[in-house]
Amino acid sequence: MTSEKIWTWRQSKGKIFKVISNASKGTIEVLDENGETVIRKTNLSRKQVEMVEKNFKNFVSKKLNGSNKTASQNNFDPMIT
């Protein structure tokens, strides 16, 4: 069984990125509309990948449902190892 997750990330200017994360492999990759890699992070811990997935989902869901909550001022970036 794979822990790979794939979803789309709609940008404010109408672009749609594809995000592929894999906690067991410790990778997160963002592809643009042409399938070219925009960001690729490797050698992440399972916890780092899961944290990015959780924060991404929370951010996107807030934007979709029109919540006016402000983003946390936490400067921790789990993408930096």
Paired tokens of 57: 């989902």
The answer to whether position 34 is within a domain reads yes
Residue with tokens 């929370």: 58
The answer to whether position 35 is within a domain reads yes
Sequence-separated (6 or more) residues with CB below 8 Å from residue 33: 15, 16, 17
pLDDT digits (tens, 9 = 90+) for 32-73: 999 999 999 999 999 999 999 888 877 765 544 444 454 444
Q: How many domains does the chain have?
A: 1
Q: Which domain holds residue 17?
A: 4-64
The answer to whether position 52 is within a domain reads yes
The answer to whether position 32 is within a domain reads yes
Top pLDDT among 21 and 66 is at 21
